Structure 1
Amino acid sequence: MAGQPDAVGFVGRDEELARIHAAAAAALSGQARLVWIEGPAGAGKTALLDRAVGELTDAFAVVRAEADELSAEFPLSVARQLSPIEASDALGAGLQLLEGIVELQRQGPLVLVVEDLHWADAPSREAILVAVRRLGQDQVLTIVTSRPENPDVDGWERLRLDARRCEPIRVGPLTVTDVIELASGVTTLSTAAAERLHRHTAGHALYLRTLLSELRPDQLAASEGELPAPRSLAATTAARLAELPVEAQSLALALAVIGRPVKLAIAARVGGVEQPTAALEHLLETGLFAWRHGDTGSVVGFAHPLLRAAVYADLPPLRRQRLHLAAAAALGAADGLAHRVAAVDGVDDALADELVAEAERERSVDAAGSAARLLLWASGVRSPGPAADRHLTDAVRLLFHDGQLARAAELRPEVETSGPSPARSLVLGTLDWEAGDTAAAEAELRAAAESTAPGFAAEATEANVLLARLLALQGRGPEAIVAAERALSTPGLPTRLEHLAWLGSALGVLMRDGGPASVAHLSTRLPQPAPEVPADEVDLLVARGAINYFAARPAAASADLRAAIALIRAGAPAAELHRAHYQLAQSLVLTGDWDEATIHARTALEIVQDQRLVSLRVQAHCVLASLAGLRGQWTEADEQLRLAADGAAPGRVLEALMTPMITRATIARARGDWAEALRAFEPLLGVAATRSGVRLPMGTSLEWWSMVVSAAIELGDFDEAARQLELFDRAAAERGIDLSVQLLGLRGRLLAARPGATLTDAENAIGLLRQAIAQETQETPVLTRIELHRWLGRLLIARGGRREGLDELRVAHRRLSELGAGPELARVSAELEAAGADPGVPTVSPLSALTERETDVAALVIRGMTNREVAGELYVTEKAVEYHLGNVYAKLGLHSRRELRALAHST
């Protein structure tokens, strides 16, 4: 808010301004930068921000968002100040905000200002982070101000500490020289007098400005003795206001109670001020207030929230109450509720009823955060008892739905002291689950789910939904199905809970009967082919894609998940976007689309970091580790596996147990270390599993078991290989998973490999391998297809069919070369050489010299995507794509997309 020019102006901060200008210069050159201005309340963050932005406006357009103490109650209220946003979730809002920034950039360089991020609502903080993290080669300078108490707000810490992208500025005390300059508008200070004032205020900018406005020049100029002004800002501010005319004081007190900038006429009505303009004139002379004049009249407020807090804290209780009642009358029914709550003496059940009614209206328009705030107020003014407790638990449930998990956790002590009820159990169970205490969560959720207490049917249903998912993720399928079916039998089940209940039910069937049965079960609810699924059922489509993966149908999984991602990009809810990208990456590893798999795994990992989700971090790192291992990038593989291990949460879900095992074995297989591949599965299949009673989960694709059998064959333990092969066959039949191609190939390989194998055995083995190749489908993993040709080629050569055998080996060699599977390619090349054939010089991909992001951009351009489509695929801006594509051209000596595609297709 602009104010009248005051006697005490801006001083110092030359180094800070220079660093902001340097960041701006980088942004102008096409390297987006973040400036993080941090300091305690009143340190001068806003003054520095305003000066810096004022000096940059000739080169930049400015878009500004400002949070205040009320912002946390209104989801996405701060983010929507920067750009129009229709999404209701943080990730979707962040991606829409990024689109808005892209459009604004088309008009020139841009400064995004977010003031007082610490006060912003959590979805806004996450959404803005999503957008800012994806700014790369963009002419955008983002400036954020925040207090230092909790710098790691919703994952910003990682970006804040990235020296390549962020310029952190700590606003510290002003110097003695700054004090002399600051005071020059009031009086001339000697060094000794300035040192005394500096010592008294510790260089705190707001304290200095307040004292310079409040004290006489002779008081300031003295170099010895204690300053006569009080040391506290509150007392100093009160003393300054006490000198003003009564109407000016009344206007100031009204503004303190209203708590935000407001029209002068409204503030005057609250304070009973008859001549508000004259009163405002006196307030502005103090330097404690600011104003702006617009088309609808003057808007006035405190120059800094600390000043407002100081005045409000000094108000006597009775006058504060009267002013709150006056504010309630002046601001209208909805805006006045907060002031009526602040004015309550004890309890007011009638007001509680109004708050609950307003909360219902807010809930009806999906404003869960606002509804939660109103219910919390209602719980505070309601007579103690079950009704007040119900308001509290309803409020916490709404906070869960709104994504305000930290705020919900803060209210746990109050929930624990409320009376026993299914609602209380539901809230505590949800909090326990979020905290990782699954045993406590199950006990509380089960108590809520099985309750028949009248009036708590909705809580019991929601508890059943959550319980179903918790039990399913622990592998307890039958129990999960029972809980999900209880929820689904509820008449009028809300859409959100109906989808979650179906997910719990499908996961339960997955864990009880296996993937194919689960897909069939979910398809009774979602029978449409992927392109026909409506946007509001995208979460079910993601679930079907994920379960298709566990049904050993990677191609079907890819179709579902690609369609889901397209729906989300078009505006569908983005809550499951991280799962869609991760599961698609897993599926693409099997189908052989490794470049695209890498892109989706990296994207999933970025989304997990943006949203501070940990449930899929392990799996995303595992996909990247497997791909690196298959390509022979051992350092990268080991690093990604280490990152996966660091993020693991043992015992929480089976997926987090299985994926690292499979990844470890995949890397060992690529290295040719078959003993290590077997050891990777020891916790699941070996002696350790037998002793601990671990049972192979039904919810697994079983694709990995081929590695177990192959390892035993390679190590010469043919009896163990036969035993594992029969277990594999039995497990596939039990789950209804069609793995006939893999089983036929392994049987043929084992038959030929056994010591003493006869000519008939060899012929039968060749027949089994050919039968397996004939039965291949699009769902057969690419490495399985390659191995079948390799095994068949080796066996044919050994039987004297050199020409036909070489043809089979060359098929394997060509496909491995296309994949970039370096270690396995080297082994097949050696086999070709041993058979007297020239394998040729292995081709090195021209993209191998590119960075990760350059590789991703190049891969998508080669597929025929435009820059805009590539930007959408990677969730970055078009300028970033243009930058990376320019680097690709420079490194490869190319000039066009056509040349890039030609180069890729020639290798």
Structure 2
Amino acid sequence: MRLFGRETECATLDDLVAGIRHGRSASAVLRGEAGVGKTALLRHAQGSAPGGLAINGAEAESTFSFAALHRLLIPCLPERARLPQTQRAALEVACGLADGPPPDLFLVSLAALTLLAAEPRLCVLDDAQWLDRESLLALAFVARRLHAEGVVLLFGWRAAPGDDFEQLAGVPVIEIGGLGRDAAVALLADVAPAPLDPGLAEEIAVATGGNPLALTDLGQELSTAQLGGASPLTEPAPIGSRLEAHYSAAVRRLPEAAQTWLLLAAAGAGATGGQILEAAAGLGIGPADAEPAEDLRLVAGTPPVDFRHPLVRSAVYGDAPAGRRRAVHRALAVATTHASDADRRAWHLAAAATGLDEEVAAELERCAERAGARGGVAARATFLTRAAELSPAPADRAARTVAAAEAAVPAGAPARALRLLDEVDDALLSGPRRGSALMTRAMASVTTGTPGALRDAAAMCLAAAGAFGDAEPDRTREAVLLAMHHSITAEDLMRGVTGEQIAEAARRLAGPDPSGPADLLLAGFAAFLTGGIEQGAPAMRRAIAALTGPELLLSHFQLGVTLCTLLWDDESRRVVLRGAEDAARRSGALHTLDLVHFMAAMDDATLGRLRDADRHDAVGQRLRTAIGVTADQELIWRHPELVAWRSGPADRAALLPALDVFDMLGVGAMRSVTLHSIAVLDIACADYASAKRLLQPMVELGRPGRYARVLPDLVECALRSGDRRTAALAHADLAVAAGAAGTTWADGLQERSKALLSSPDGAEPHYRSAIEILSGTRAVGDLARAHLLYGEWLRRRRRRRDARLQLRAALEVFEAEKAHAFAARARAELSPLGETGPTPVPESETALTPQEAAVARLARGGGTNAEIAAHLFLSASTVDYHLRKVYRKLGVRSRRQLREALHD
């Protein structure tokens, strides 16, 4: 097939397809308006790589979860036995091949990646805008993770106003526009049945915008007189949205039986040929009625029917009278009797309904539950929405609408959830239904980034707990735990509820003698909210110890991390984070895994372990790329501590805009972390007065509470700015908090602060004690700062040799971790002593990338390529590619040599 004016696009596709033979992978979306030639270009690519996989999105299947993915993978499914067990189980449930718990989307996605990457191939997905949401998200994940498998994944996407293209974020886009004037004229001349007037040809090329489908149809439909320029053209030319109207007009001129046959074919996409014929017989029509449409080249094949263009299908269905449409769906429902087609039958019954119908609504509700069991959260929301629309009883309609909204949030449609909730009459909601509505509204508002949503989320969850009450104790407990989570995120920006009110609800649920893990968590955080660290520490430790088991870790690791941070318990914090990471990896919960790495990066940055923080940050960035987080969304994932440690005085202003964003969103925790980070940078730059202005409002001196973690820095900056009284009060609070925490890290910080406040003759033992204690912790940043403060104290005591030893020790850590401002301060202290410290060593050109380093570490630990691939959510071929680069960079040839050559 000759393609006019598509030399550039064809060359691009040829290059992508050629990479298959060399083990290169690629993905791309061909995006353009209807009729612009996306399908022709995809067929060109297929001609260069025969034997690949290809499917078309079907509008009628867009509500059936994983339907498109199943169709694509049918040739690969016999190989699923080679998949890791968790991936295989998830894929089989998603495709309806086995029963089991609802599968995680990303485990299904990884299974698809593993199967598709088993051999080099081209995969084509045309009309991707009509793929069901779960399949599209899974295949977008695959597209973003392809690297060195020799797999090329191409999507065709019809651009339209308001289309939801975000699901393919991160996949390269090739915009397909209309043909240039010369190419358009050449195509028109090629398809016209008679000689073409040159002036008319240019007029048509301009009028159609170079749309190939419009040009082809016009060229074949114009009369000889029109082609020769003797008769005027019909206005306006059929292009864009007018193309569908053009086809609608052609369909309306057909006999009624032909129109009904076309409508049956359009509504029955996904039905078998036998079902179509049975439905046709029920309507009194047959394949012979398609002949007039075939003569106009609108369709071919009987059945299954192949429409000339998806626009023809849209025109047929969209322009059909409502009564005829209902009749066709009723006939299809009668013909759809197999148990495996129950969802499709229910959907046809819903489309055939002439009014409210409880029987159909109930069947759709059952379809929703089946979809949810397969992991089809988007399909579940769609079925429930339609069930609500058909519900005769107002109370049932309200209940199903709330359930649809509840399903829309995990389906990635929080705005839709809010719209559904806005349709509900609150007077019809009481008890658990009201609780579900409140919980869903809180979650949806937070997810959409509604300004102030986080400020109100805790209050809404606590109100939901009251609505659930004793009728649903598990959901009541879940609501109070979520209120705690939201209070942790909002911190001092929370409104509508107090910490004491949350604590009271938690205490009441936990009871006087809590024993279960969830109750211990409730009791532990309640104890802190009411009694602070001093009184709450024992209950907080019990809560942390209870945080075991994958399900609990996945749901509440943030609460555990918060309790560990309040107690300066870095060892327990590391255990919680590692447990949560393992649970998230095993279950395929990539959003949770991303959050785990985000919090792990914060943990390491707090400890001054900036290289480890970099590693977690790099993993998080890769995960966010894989799951399609956009560049704008990525901004919220910046690590203020890491940025501050790595910054210099000139970079301070870059941290300030984030404060306004966090204030607008109500993310008080990140706001306080950012303020603390800026203060640490100010301390590094010896701007103590500025640091004190930032830190002092964060604490309530005399009552060490949520922000006790800033007390060591407040002691230093207050004392150095001449405010000894504030420094002494902060130290007194620190002593109380450290004593209650009982951790080595807290003891070391307390000793360091005591040294600052001690008399000149009494400071040295405390400096030495602080260094000795902190040397036994992972807090290398605080240890280095202790060396720095001690070195500064020694230099001012004119003990030059001792000062050099301490300042060198500090500088060595700061240089290794690239803590630029603190390193500059240490050098400034060393300079009067006759040295400036080592010059930073530039990174080698052979340094491993974060992805290579991750692969190398796992290989060093004995992981096979398949195990590493599952761990990093890659294909085994990509792991092999990175490992070969690691070997080359490090000059090794085996895993055994790698263990000897690779050092963290």
Percentage of matched positions with identical amino acids: 23
Deviation at 1:428, TM superposition (A): 4.4
Deviation at 1:337, TM superposition (A): 1.6
- Unaligned regions of 5+ residues in structure 2, if any? 74-79, 81-86, 95-100, 492-497
State which drifts further: 459-468 or 9-18.
459-468
Corresponding residue number in structure 1 for 2:263 = 253
After superposition, the Cα gap between the structure-2 partners of 1:602 and 1:682, relative to the gap in structure 1 and judged at 3 Å, is farther
Deviation at 1:383, TM superposition (A): 1.9
Correspondence 1:73 to 2:63: yes
Corresponding residue number in structure 2 for 1:107 = 119
Q: What amino acid sits opposite 2:715 in the alignment?
A: V
Say which SS state the counterpart of residue 423 (structure 2) adopts.
Answer: helix
Deviation at 1:625, TM superposition (A): 0.6
Corresponding residue number in structure 2 for 1:670 = 684
Correspondence 1:379 to 2:391: no
Residues 550, 579 of structure 2: 8 Å contact kept: no
From 812, 829, 841, the counterpart of 1:844: 841
Corresponding residue number in structure 2 for 1:684 = 698
- Unaligned regions of 5+ residues in structure 1, if any? 1-7, 161-165, 293-297, 490-497
Corresponding residue number in structure 2 for 1:492 = none
Residues 176, 194 of structure 1: 8 Å contact kept: no
After superposition, the Cα gap between the structure-2 partners of 1:301 and 1:830, relative to the gap in structure 1 and judged at 3 Å, is same
After superposition, the Cα gap between the structure-2 partners of 1:842 and 1:603, relative to the gap in structure 1 and judged at 3 Å, is same
Residues 601, 623 of structure 1: 8 Å contact kept: no
Q: C-alpha deviations, 1:215-274, integer Å up to 9, x for none?
A: 66666555422449996656654565577777655432311332x243333222212288
Cα distance in 2, alignment partners of residues 380 and 237 from structure 1:
31
Corresponding residue number in structure 1 for 2:271 = 262
Corresponding residue number in structure 1 for 2:671 = 657
Residues 258, 293 of structure 2: 8 Å contact kept: yes
Correspondence 1:392 to 2:408: no
After superposition, the Cα gap between the structure-2 partners of 1:187 and 1:350, relative to the gap in structure 1 and judged at 3 Å, is same
Say which SS state the counterpart of residue 389 (structure 2) adopts.
Answer: helix
Correspondence 1:325 to 2:330: yes
Corresponding residue number in structure 2 for 1:495 = none
Say which SS state the counterpart of residue 144 (structure 1) adopts.
Answer: strand
- Aligned runs of 1:227-242 on 2, under 5 Å? 227=234, 233=243, 236-237=246-247, 240-241=250-251
From 348, 351, 354, the counterpart of 2:363: 354
Corresponding residue number in structure 2 for 1:415 = 424
Corresponding residue number in structure 2 for 1:742 = 749
After superposition, the Cα gap between the structure-2 partners of 1:647 and 1:199, relative to the gap in structure 1 and judged at 3 Å, is same
Say which SS state the counterpart of residue 187 (structure 1) adopts.
Answer: coil
Residues 605, 642 of structure 2: 8 Å contact kept: no
Q: What amino acid sits opposite 1:725 in the alignment?
A: H
Deviation at 1:867, TM superposition (A): 8.8
Corresponding residue number in structure 1 for 2:76 = none
Deviation at 1:339, TM superposition (A): 1.9
Residues 749, 765 of structure 1: 8 Å contact kept: yes
After superposition, the Cα gap between the structure-2 partners of 1:300 and 1:820, relative to the gap in structure 1 and judged at 3 Å, is same
Q: What amino acid sits opposite 2:165 in the alignment?
A: V
Residues matched between the structures, number: 851
Correspondence 1:576 to 2:576: no
Q: C-alpha deviations, 1:288-335, integer Å up to 9, x for none?
A: 22559xxxxx63343433212212234333333222211110113432
Q: What amino acid sits opposite 1:132 in the alignment?
A: A
Say which SS state the counterpart of residue 681 (structure 1) adopts.
Answer: helix
Corresponding residue number in structure 2 for 1:48 = 41
Q: What amino acid sits opposite 1:553 in the alignment?
A: D
Q: What amino acid sits opposite 1:621 in the alignment?
A: H
Cα distance in 1, alignment partners of residues 534 and 62 from structure 2:
45
Q: C-alpha deviations, 1:737-793, integer Å up to 9, x for none?
A: 7722211122123214xxxx4xxxx2x322223333444475462122233344445
State which drifts further: 61-70 or 40-49.
61-70
Cα distance in 2, alignment partners of residues 559 and 488 from structure 1:
25
Residues 618, 645 of structure 1: 8 Å contact kept: no
Corresponding residue number in structure 2 for 1:299 = 304
Correspondence 1:548 to 2:564: yes
- Aligned runs of 1:270-669 on 2, under 5 Å? 270-272=279-281, 278=288, 283-291=293-301, 299-332=304-337, 333-363=342-372, 367-415=376-424, 419=428, 421=430, 423=433, 425-426=437-438, 427-434=440-447, 435-438=450-453, 448-451=464-467, 466-475=482-491, 476-484=498-506, 511-513=529-531, 527=545, 533-534=549-550, 537-541=553-557, 543-591=559-607, 593-608=609-624, 610=627, 612=629, 618=636, 620-629=638-647, 641=655, 644-645=658-659, 648-650=662-664, 652-669=666-683
Q: C-alpha deviations, 1:369-391, integer Å up to 9, x for none?
A: 33332322222222252222222
Correspondence 1:782 to 2:785: no
Residues 546, 583 of structure 1: 8 Å contact kept: no
Q: C-alpha deviations, 1:808-853, integer Å up to 9, x for none?
A: 55544554454444554455466567557x7864462544885864
Residues 369, 402 of structure 1: 8 Å contact kept: yes
Corresponding residue number in structure 2 for 1:710 = 716
Cα distance in 2, alignment partners of residues 453 and 511 from structure 1:
22
Q: What amino acid sits opposite 2:639 in the alignment?
A: H
Q: C-alpha deviations, 1:394-445, integer Å up to 9, x for none?
A: 2111222433323323434423688454636525455444424436656765
State which drifts further: 334-343 or 28-37.
28-37
State which drifts further: 408-417 or 731-740.
731-740
Q: What amino acid sits opposite 1:316 in the alignment?
A: P
Residues 178, 212 of structure 2: 8 Å contact kept: no
Cα distance in 2, alignment partners of residues 138 and 516 from structure 1:
57
After superposition, the Cα gap between the structure-2 partners of 1:233 and 1:854, relative to the gap in structure 1 and judged at 3 Å, is closer
Length-normalised TM-score, structure 1: 0.78
From 143, 146, 154, the counterpart of 2:166: 154
Cα distance in 2, alignment partners of residues 605 and 737 from structure 1:
33
Cα distance in 2, alignment partners of residues 516 and 863 from structure 1:
44
Q: What amino acid sits opposite 1:771 in the alignment?
A: S
Residues 854, 888 of structure 1: 8 Å contact kept: no
Say which SS state the counterpart of residue 154 (structure 1) adopts.
Answer: helix
After superposition, the Cα gap between the structure-2 partners of 1:797 and 1:769, relative to the gap in structure 1 and judged at 3 Å, is same
Correspondence 1:119 to 2:117: no
Deviation at 1:474, TM superposition (A): 3.5
Cα distance in 2, alignment partners of residues 410 and 642 from structure 1:
34
After superposition, the Cα gap between the structure-2 partners of 1:718 and 1:314, relative to the gap in structure 1 and judged at 3 Å, is closer
Q: What amino acid sits opposite 1:663 in the alignment?
A: S
Cα distance in 1, alignment partners of residues 480 and 876 from structure 2:
45
Cα distance in 2, alignment partners of residues 91 and 696 from structure 1:
47
Cα distance in 2, alignment partners of residues 803 and 234 from structure 1:
86
Say which SS state the counterpart of residue 28 (structure 2) adopts.
Answer: strand
Cα distance in 1, alignment partners of residues 471 and 42 from structure 2:
53
Length-normalised TM-score, structure 2: 0.79
Corresponding residue number in structure 1 for 2:758 = 751
